[in-house]
Structure formats: structure tokens, C-alpha cells
Structure 1
Amino acid sequence: MQQIKNKEFGGERPLFASHDLQLNNVTIHTGESALKECSNIIAVECRFEGKYPFWHVDGFVIKNCLFTEGSRAALWYSQNLVMTDTRVEAPKMFREMDGIRLENVQIPDAQETLWHCRNVELKNVQVDHADYLFMHSENIRIENYAQNGNYSFQYCKNVEIRNAIIHSKDAFWNTENVTVYDSEISGEYLGWHSKNLRLVNCKISGTQPLCYAHNLVMENCTMADDCDLAFEYSSVHATIESPVHSVKNPRTGSIKAESYGEIILDEHVKAPADCELRLLDERTCFSA
């Protein structure tokens, strides 16, 4: 494998179509497409300042590197990436990619990041300003994760998340086959129009959660006082180890909770309109 150490590059395509190349302490200055159409690239302790450095790359390892704000849209149309111990300060990263593994990575400006990606693994990752994160992506596994940013995980499929803190308005809209374990999710309008969303040992907060959901499952979850007007038009099977502030017109299924505040079951409920609302001790039953 060829090695390049302690060098600086700039301009257009300085390392275009490189293969079997290791970069150590290399700086990519302002320019475009420094490593386009490459394969088997290793970058260690490098700094990326120019736009689009890794496009159409097959097989690359990035370790202890920095992507500055100027390196926006750095990783697109590529596959088989392993990134560790790296800081990514640029937005719009990771598009149309297959095979991504991020570990110990910080993304302080994650706006419009991880779109149309497949086979993604994140571990010990922190993302901020993460509006529209994970649009139309699938086969995602996440562990030890913290996120601040709205409209996340929309239209995603086959997602498993463990030990996460997610602050996101409109999270998990139109998703399919998502399971979240041992996590905190806060934000308005959680999980609308989702299919097969499963929440296990999770803490939920935010107004009007989990409406229009199909086959929603909640196991041993808690809901904060601001979770009002929950479950409208949803099919749901839930066990909630806390009071539920208010429930509005769940469509079908069953809900068990410690207690209920307001229960709205009116003429607007949709068929089959047979959802049962019970207390955890089974003493009381409410039915639409």
C-alpha cells in the first residue's frame, strides 16, 4: 500500500482515482473531489477542508480525522466506510451510501445528513443541529447515541436503537419496522404514520405523540405530563408504567396505564373503534 505522510493538497482532484493508499497527517485544502473514484483508502489524523473529498469510493477507513465546515457533502455515493474517533463539522454528509460504521464520532452540524443510506451502524455518536437526519435510510443499528435536531428518521425502515437520548420534533414519521430500547425520546408529534414501531423501556415526552400509527407496541414505557392527545387513530398495544395525561380516539388495540387524565372517545373515532383502556391492576376498563 502506498503511503503519503505530512503533505498538503488543494485544487481539483489532487488524488483522483487513487487505490490502495494510506494518508497520515495529510491536509486537503480548499478545492473539490480530492479522493473521487478511489478504493481501499486509509486516512489517519488528516484534515479535510475542501468540498466533496470522498465521492464514489469503495472501501475506506477514516480515523482521528477532522472534516471542517468547508468540507460539506464530503461522503456521497460510496460504500464500505469505517469512521472512528473523528469530528465532522460540515453538514450534508453521508448520502446514497451502502455500508457505514461510525464509532466515537461527533457531528455538531448534522443537518440533512445520512440520506438514502443502507446498512448503517452507529456507536457512541453525538449529533447536533440534526434537522432531517436519516431520511429514506434502511437497515440501521444504533447504540449509545445522543441527538438534537428535528424531523429525524423519516421514511426509514428496519431500525434498531439502544440507549439513546433523542430530542426531535416529528421523529420516526412514516417509518417501518423500528424498535427503540432503553431510550429517552422528546419532541412533538412522535411516530405519526409509522408502521410496526416498538418502544421498550422508553421515556416519552412531547405533545400529541404516536398518532396515526399502525401496529404500535409499547412495553414498560413512561409518558411525561406533556404527552397529551396521544394515540389518535392508532392501532396500539401498550403497557405504560406512568399516568397518561390524555388519550384521544385510539382506533383499536389495548392500552394499560397507571392512570388516565382526560379520555376523549367521541363520534370522530375510526372503525373498528374497539380499543380497550385499562389500568395496570385491571380494576377499570374503558372502551371506545
Structure 2
Amino acid sequence: MKTISNTEFGGERPLFASHDLHIDNVTIREGESAIKECSNIIATNCRFEGNYPFWHVHGFTIDRCYFDVGGRSALWYSDHLKMTNTKIDAPKMFREMNDIDIENVEMTDADEVFWRCKRINAKNLKLQGGTYPFMFSEDITIDGLESESKYVFQYVKNVELRNARITTKDAFWEVENVTVYDSELNGEYLGWHSRNLRLVNCHITGEQPLCYAHDLVLENCTFGPDCDRAFEYSTLQADIRGSITNIKNPTSGRIVADAIGSVTIDENIKAPADCVIETRP
């Protein structure tokens, strides 16, 4: 493997079609597509300031690197990435990618990141700012997520999420086969139009959570006092610890809680309208 270290590149495609290359302490200045159509690339202690540095790259490692704001849309149409100990200030990262393995990564502008990606494995991931992370992605495993981005996890499939703290709005819309363990989910309109969403040992806050959900499961979950009009037009099995403020027009299933503030069943409830709602003895 060839090594390039302690230097900088700029302009268009300075390392185009490189293979079996290790760059260390290299700065990619203003320009485009620095490392395009490449394979078996290792980048350590590098700084990326130019646009689109890693496009169509197959098999690469990024460790202890930094992506400046100018390094936007840096990782597209690539596969088999391992990224560790890296900070990203640029938006629109990770697009149309497969086999992403990341650990200890912080993104300060998580706008439109992880779109249409498959097989994401992440540990200790931090997302700030931006909208719609993980849109249309699938086969995702994350242990340790802190996210303040809006509209996170929409139209995703096959997700296992653990130890997360998510503050957002409209999270988990139109998802399929998603399980969330031991997490805090803060924001309005959680999980609408979901299919096979399962929440285990989670704390939920925000208005009108979990409506229009199909085959929703809650196990040992708690709700904040602002969670009103919950479960409207949902089919579910819910085990709620503590109290829930208001339940409105669930379609079918069973809800059991330690205490229920109020239940709204009106003429707009949808058939079969046979959900069992009860407090725990």
C-alpha cells in the first residue's frame, strides 16, 4: 500500500482512481472529487475542505478526520466504509451507500444525512441540526444515539435502536419493522403511520404520539404529561408504566396502564373499535 503524508491537495480530482492508498495528515483544499472512483483507501488525521471527496469509493477507512463545512456531500455512491473518531461539520453526508460501520462520530449539521443507505451499524453517534436523517434507509443497527435533528427516521425499514436520546418532531413516520430499546423519545407526532414499531423500556414525550400505527407494541414504557390524544386510529398492544394523560379512538388491541387521565371515544372511531383499555389492578 502506498502512503502519502503531511501534504495537501486542491483543485479537481487530485487522487482520482487511486487504489491501495493510505493518506495521513493530508488536507484536501477547495475543489471537487478529490478521492473519486477509488478502492482500498485509508485516511487518518486528515482534513477535508473541498466538495464531494469520497464518491464511488469501494472499501475505505476514515479515522480521526475532520470534514469542514466546505466538504459537503462527501460520501456518496460508496460501500464498505469504516469511520471512527471523526467530526463532521458538513451537511448531506452518506447518500446511496451500503455497508457503513461508524463509531464515535459527531455531525453538527445532520441535514439529509444517511439517505437511501443499506446496512448501517453505528455506535456512539451524535446528530445536531438539519432535517430528515436516515430517510429511506434500511437494515440499521445503532447503539448510543444523541439526536437533535428534525424529522429523524422517516420511511426506514428494519431498524434496531438502543440507548438513544432523540429530541425531534415527526420521528419514525412511515417506518416498518423498527424496535427501540431503553431510549428517550421527545417530540410531537411520534410514529405516525408506522408498521411493526416496537418500543421497549422507552420514555415518550410530546403531543399526539403513535397515531395511525399498525401493529404497534409498547413494553414497559412511560409517558410525559403532554402526551394527549395518543393512539388515535392505531392497532396496538401497550403496557404503560405510570400514567398517560389521554387516549383517543384506538382502533383495536389492548392498552393497560397504571393510571389513565381520560379516554376519548367518539363517533369518529374506526371499526372494529374493540380496543380494550384498562388500568392495572
TM-score (norm 1): 0.97
Report what 1:209 is aligned to: 209
CA RMSD of aligned residues (A): 0.5
* 1:170 aligned partner: 170
Instruction: Report the counterpart of residue 74 of structure 2 in structure 1.
Output: 74
Amino acid at match of 2:108: P
The match for 1:106 is 106
Paired AA for residue 27 in structure 2: T
Alpha-carbon distance, 1:194 to partner: 0.1
Matches within 5 A, 1:38-57: 38-57=38-57
1:174–1:192: 8 Å Cα contact kept in structure 2? Answer: yes
**Which letter does structure 1 place at the counterpart of 2:184?**
E
In 2: Cα distance, 1:154 partner to 1:67 partner: 25
The one-letter code sitting in structure 2 at the alignment partner of 1:254 is R
Task: Find out whether 1:139 has 2:139 as its counterpart.
Answer: yes
Residues 204-260 of structure 1, C-alpha deviations (whole Å, 9 max, x = no match) = 000000000000000000000000000000001000001110010000000001111
In 2, distance between residues paired with 1:238 and 1:268?
A: 22
Q: Which residue of 1 aligns with 2:264?
A: 264
Whole-angstrom CA distance in 1 between matches of 2:88 and 2:278 = 48
Whole-Å Cα distance in 2 between the matches of residues 260 and 278 of structure 1? 8
Count of matched residue positions in the alignment of Structure 1 and Structure 2? 281
- Match runs of 1:1-288 below 5 Å: 1-281=1-281
Residue-by-residue CA offset, 1:250-280 (whole Å, 9 max, x unaligned): 0000000111112101111000000000112
TM-score by length of 2: 0.99
* Separation (CA, whole Å) in 2 of partners of 1:4 and 1:158: 40
Task: Determine if contact 1:130/1:152 at 8 Å carries over to the other structure.
Answer: no
Secondary structure at the counterpart of residue 37 of structure 2: coil
Distance 1:47 1:222 in 2: 43
> Within 2, Cα distance between the matches of 1:179 and 1:168?
18
- Output the amino acid matched with 1:80: H
Q: How far apart, CA to CA, are the structure 2 residues paired with 1:149 and 1:93?
A: 14
Percent identity at matched positions? Answer: 59
- Cα distance between partner residues in 2 of 1:269 and 1:258: 24
1:173-204 per-residue CA deviation (whole Å, 9 max, x = no partner) reads: 00000000000000000000000000000000
What residue ranges of structure 1 are gaps of 5+ in the alignment? 282-288
Paired letter, 1:25: N
Q: Deviation per CA, 1:130-154, whole angstroms, max 9, x where unpaired?
A: 4110000000000011000111110
